[in-house]
Amino acid sequence: MRMGIQILSLRPGQVGGQEVLVRRLMVRMAPMLGRDRLVVFVRPELASEPDWRPVLDHPGIETAVDRPEEHYGEGYGEWSLQILRDAVLDVVFFPLFFFFPRPLPIPVAVHVPDLQHEFHPENFSPEQLAWRRERIPESVAMADAVITGSEFSAATLRERLHADPRRLHVIPNGGFLPEEIGAAGEKKGVGSPFLKPPEGSSTKEAVKMASDPICPDLPFVFYPAADWPHKNHETLLRAMAILAGRGRAEHLVLTGMLSQSGERLHALADGLGVSGRVHFLGNVEQDRVIGLYRRARLLVFPSRFEGFGLPLVEAMQLGCPIVASRAPAVVETAGDAAVFCDDSPEAWADALASTLDSPELLADLRRRGSARAAAFDWDQAATRCLGLLRELGGKGRHRA
């Protein structure tokens, strides 16, 4: 059977956890292919990424490399269909919210991680909102299977988009792959805390500092998240200011993509007087992220909306206790392995202080997290996803 994964819209480092999800899923699917073949439609800049090369070079995987923007215009729909025809596919999987063109002459699976725009339209530009409202509902209605990562997201797909329950599949994500954790442990100096980069230094320079072991005993809490509005960095910064006012020593380390919001967050940290203890590192290597989880006192996760919450699983795997928001998918993913917090700076400051000051609670959170992390496994996710694609491909309609 020939199966496709269409990720031409995926640009490296720009879609947060979705890129990690797709890559780890493919890493686990590849050895399971047997005599089947997986055709991956991918941009050249992603195909050349070091993190992607091992899976794309697997003998069971073929790559179709192109830049979709070079085909934009009147003939874009026909081009999008022709590349699928040329690959002679039995089924195709679109893991990034929608598929195009619609409909397709072969079975289609689409992964829709969340419907944030239905709950927080204020977080999107008018163009982004129109894009989501045009593409996602039609894709959900026309797909042969809709995959999502949590029961919360499945419920929203049923309620908001009237997704057919018979075609809706909840396949939870995993966390780090064991080999990713093992590789990070072999590297010297991984995860040492970092001082704030000098004034005017670039994100690239900040990332370079990740190789330098600075202040190894510096106590810090960790939040790996792009600076998108729903990630709620502002509340966390204000909570850190409250803690600083109480004389506490903890620092805050932030990783993840920095957009235009990053300047506003830097200004807020300066205005609150905490710029010396808040460290914006931008995108850093995965090895460094693993080290940060291991050395952090806590994972702090104030996000106001999630479809799953990948860092929660990663923290649980690595023994990092969690204080998190009460967003429904966050509570679902973390289960009994987190302290949950109301959405105000005062509540966050109190929750962080009380958790950090309780060795018994920290030990209990680590124990609960380790047990809960076992429920999130990429082998299981890949087995279910591959089984679903084979089932769809076996039913067929006719090949593209």
What mean pLDDT, rounded, does the chain reach? 90
Task: Pick the closest to residue 320 from 207, 185, 204, 223 (CA basis).
Answer: 223
Q: What is the pLDDT of residue 211?
A: 39
Cβ–Cβ contacts within 10 Å for residue 381, how many? 21
Q: Where are the domains of the chain?
A: 2-174+378-395, 188-373
pLDDT per residue as tens digits for the range 174-215: 999 999 999 887 664 444 444 444 444 444 444 344 433 444
Q: Given phi > 0 = left and psi -120 to 50 = alpha, else beta, which region is 310?
A: alpha
Task: Supply the pLDDT for residue 16.
Answer: 72
Q: How far apart are CA 250 and CA 273, in angstroms?
A: 14
Token pair for 46: 């992603």
Could you give the C-alpha distances from 196 to 162, 189, 203, in angstroms and in order? 48, 18, 11
Task: Tell me, yes or no, if the two domains 2-174+378-395 and 188-373 fold the same way.
Answer: yes
For domain 188-373, the CATH architecture is 3-Layer(aba) Sandwich (3.40)
Confidence of residue 397 (pLDDT cuts 50, 70, 90): low
Instruction: Look at residue 213 in the predicted model and tell me its pLDDT.
Output: 40
Q: pLDDT class for 217, splitting at 50, 70, 90? A: low
**In the CATH scheme, what is the code of domain 2-174+378-395?**
3.40.50.2000
Q: Average pLDDT for residues 279-292, to the nearest whole number?
A: 93
Question: Is the predicted pLDDT of residue 277 greater than 60, yes or no?
Answer: yes
pLDDT-derived band at 216, boundaries 50, 70, 90: very low
Q: Produce one character per residue of 8-22: b if its CB has 16 or more CB atoms within 10 Å, e if not.
A: bbbeeeebbbbbbbb
Locus of tokens 């819209």? 9
pLDDT at residue 75 greater than cutoff 60? yes
Give yes or no for residue 396 having a pLDDT over 90: no
Is pLDDT of 15 > 80?
no
From residue 68, alpha-carbon distances to 10, 44, 64, 71, 123 in Å are 11, 11, 12, 5, 26
pLDDT in tens, 369-391: 999 999 999 999 999 999 999 99
Question: What is the model's pLDDT at position 186?
Answer: 61
